[in-house]
């Protein structure tokens, strides 16, 4: 912890005072107060880290958003209430320049949904429609299924082989600490409907992209493409996918009826909400962090992504409470349409002109932690200002990765790629995250205060060091074209 370092510094100061006092000792001379030396950024960062571990701001933000707003699917009245909540919250926490940046989306709104096996073993199935899915006809679609135990098997099916059928993929997701299991499985949901339609399918069902055995299905968006028919798509509860595996194993054709009644509204309003801790010397240079304010509709959007909003807001707020702000600005953005893939594009378009003055970007969007890994911008490990990081993060059990960050999060993707703004990335332990992500079980009770605060502590330490320095991350990246192992 910081205590040993601070104790060491205090000892040095006391010894120096004793030595100089001893050398210049004059009886009865009153002590003259010396001006305080400039604070060592590493000492301030350590104090911030320790304060964060015991702070209630982050949990309070998650509790407030999930209780006072709840689910906030972009394009719904709840998303407008979330925008008002965000403006009020950032203002109450002492941020400056608090404002909403509007943009337009095509709102996708869920309607009534149902599915059942009609033959040979009639049973109701638990499903949830996927984002951007078109509706079925009101009476639903009934067809024989073609079931694939892996996504690779679907891709291996020849063109035309699924004509008139409902394609079903039941490949389970792998549980991992770093989110790689989701990276591998998310394409079953995002791209499966297009691949099934290419082969003639009339609808698509996927086993929930989930590491849980809960029957609650997990939603998420589909990436339809212009030249392939958009077929209705839904996720099956894990137990329901396994039920279909067993039915198909019995060798008789299985028929399913699927009914979805979603609607789409082009031109619906959405907002990115922004607030600043204004820098004391270089206010135009900003470290931009945040999470996404929108959520999927079945749960409360607690772990996805009230916690990301809360971690970044709380870290910035703790820094804002210091008697002297760091030299550069810290900007928190709460993005209004991450789940449907709109807010990254809109943010990049709105901030092209400021991009050169942005120091670094990072979004928190993988749950409440604990964080176990930090990837710095390319070349940044060489910066003197960031040297204290390894010891600052050690008591939090956060590793400084050898490899530089590749990705700042979905909402910074376009800005990162198009404007070349440096990025950093904290990796939380996602072992349990995908048990509830995008499902009705994404609720406040899944958020642990100590893991959340550990995340705030790591964020606060890093962004304080970045903000109180003049480190030029672009120059460091140029000087370090290839990843070099640290000593
Ligand atoms: Zn998210
Ligand atoms: Zn999500």
CA of 257 to the centre of ligand 1 (A): 31
CA of 292 to the centre of ligand 2 (A): 9
For 196, other C-beta atoms within 10 Å of its C-beta total 28
Helix (H, G, I), strand (E, B) or coil at 43: helix
CA of 124 to the centre of ligand 2 (A): 27
CA of 303 to the centre of ligand 2 (A): 9
CA of 482 to the centre of ligand 2 (A): 32
Give the pLDDT band (50/70/90) at residue 480.
Answer: confident
What does the DSSP assignment read for 57-111? Answer: HHHHHHHHHHHHT----TTSHHHHHHHHHHHHHHHHTT-EEEEEEEEEEEEEE--
Ligand with an atom nearest the CA of residue 291 = 1
Residue the block writes with tokens 């203002």: 91
Average pLDDT over residues 353-378: 97
Ligand with an atom nearest the CA of residue 367 = 1
Q: What residues act catalytically? A: 338
Give the pLDDT band (50/70/90) at residue 250.
Answer: very high
Ligand with an atom nearest the CA of residue 411 = 1
d(CA 331, CA 411): 14
| 96-122 tens-digit pLDDT | 999 999 999 999 999 999 999 999 999
| 378-402 tens-digit pLDDT | 999 999 999 999 999 999 999 999 9
Ligand with an atom nearest the CA of residue 410 = 1
Give the pLDDT band (50/70/90) at residue 328.
Answer: very high
CA of 462 to the centre of ligand 1 (A): 22
Q: Which of 289, 294, 297 is nearest to 415 (CA)?
A: 289
399-400 vs 371-375, strand pairing mode: parallel
d(CA 195, CA 190): 10
For 243, other C-beta atoms within 10 Å of its C-beta total 18
| 174-194 tens-digit pLDDT | 999 999 999 999 999 999 999
Say if pTM beats, i.e. exceeds, 0.75.
Answer: yes
Residues whose Cβ atom is located within 5 A of ion ligand 1: 304-305, 365
Does residue 10 register a pLDDT over 70?
A: no
pLDDT at 27: 47
d(CA 446, CA 449): 10
CATH 3.50.30.30-classified regions of the chain = 121-253
Within 93-190, residue ranges assigned H as helices are: 151-156, 180-190
Architecture of domain 121-253: 3-Layer(bba) Sandwich (3.50)
* CATH no. for 41-107+266-473: 3.40.630.10
Ranges assigned E (strand) in 293-443? 328-335, 358-363, 371-375, 399-400, 425-428
Within 332-445, residue ranges assigned H as helices are: 343-350, 389-393, 413-419, 433-436
pLDDT above 70: percentage of residues in the chain: 91
CATH 3.40.630.10-classified regions of the chain = 41-107+266-473
């Amino acid at each position: 912890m910081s205590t040993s370092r601070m104790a060491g510094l205090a000892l040095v100061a006391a010894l120096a005072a004793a030595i100089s006092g001893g050398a210049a000792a004059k009886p009865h001379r009153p002590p003259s107060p010396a001006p305080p030396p400039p604070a060592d950024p590493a000492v301030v960062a350590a104090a911030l880290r320790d304060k964060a571990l015991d702070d209630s701001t982050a949990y309070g933000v998650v509790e407030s958003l999930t209780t006072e707003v709840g689910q906030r699917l972009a394009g719904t009245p709840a998303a407008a209430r979330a925008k008002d909540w965000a403006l009020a919250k950032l203002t109450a926490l002492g941020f400056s320049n608090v404002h909403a940046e509007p943009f337009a989306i095509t709102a996708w709104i869920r309607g009534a949904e149902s599915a059942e096996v009609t033959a040979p073993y009639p049973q109701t199935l638990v499903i949830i429609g996927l984002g951007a899915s078109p509706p079925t006809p009101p009476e639903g679609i009934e067809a024989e299924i073609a079931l694939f135990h892996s996504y690779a098997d679907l891709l291996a099916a020849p063109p035309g082989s699924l004509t008139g059928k409902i394609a079903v993929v039941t490949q389970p997701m792998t549980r991992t600490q770093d989110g790689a299991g989701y990276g591998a499985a998310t394409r079953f949901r995002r791209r499966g409907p297009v691949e099934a339609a290419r082969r003639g399918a009339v609808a698509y069902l996927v086993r929930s992209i989930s590491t849980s055995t809960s029957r609650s299905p997990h939603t998420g968006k589909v990436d339809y493409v212009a030249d392939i028919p958009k077929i209705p798509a839904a996720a099956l509860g894990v137990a329901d996918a396994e039920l279909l595996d067993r039915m198909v194993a019995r060798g008789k054709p299985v028929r399913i009826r699927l009914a979805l009644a979603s609607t789409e509204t082009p031109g619906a309003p959405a907002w990115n909400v922004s607030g600043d801790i204004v820098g004391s010397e270089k206010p135009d240079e900003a470290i931009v962090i945040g999470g996404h304010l929108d959520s999927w509709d079945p749960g409360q959007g607690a772990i996805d992504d009230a916690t990301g909003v809360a971690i970044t807001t709380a870290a910035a707020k703790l820094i804002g409470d210091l008697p002297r702000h760091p030299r550069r600005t810290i900007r928190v953005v709460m993005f209004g349409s991450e789940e449907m893939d709109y807010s990254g594009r809109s943010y990049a378009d709105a901030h092209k002109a400021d991009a050169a003055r942005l120091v670094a970007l990072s979004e928190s969007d993988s749950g409440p932690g604990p964080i176990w890994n930090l990837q710095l911008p390319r070349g940044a490990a060489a910066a003197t200002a960031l040297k204290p990081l390894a010891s600052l993060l050690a008591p939090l059990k956060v590793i400084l990765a050898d490899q530089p960050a590749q990705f700042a999060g979905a909402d910074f993707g376009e800005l990162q790629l198009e404007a070349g703004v440096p990025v950093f990335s904290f990796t939380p332990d996602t072992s349990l995250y995908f048990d509830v992500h995008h499902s009705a079980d994404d609720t406040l009770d899944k958020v642990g205060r100590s893991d959340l605060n550990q995340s705030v502590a790591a964020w606060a330490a890093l962004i304080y060091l970045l903000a109180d320095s003049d480190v030029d991350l672009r120059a460091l990246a140029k000087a370090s074209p290839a990843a070099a192992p640290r000593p």
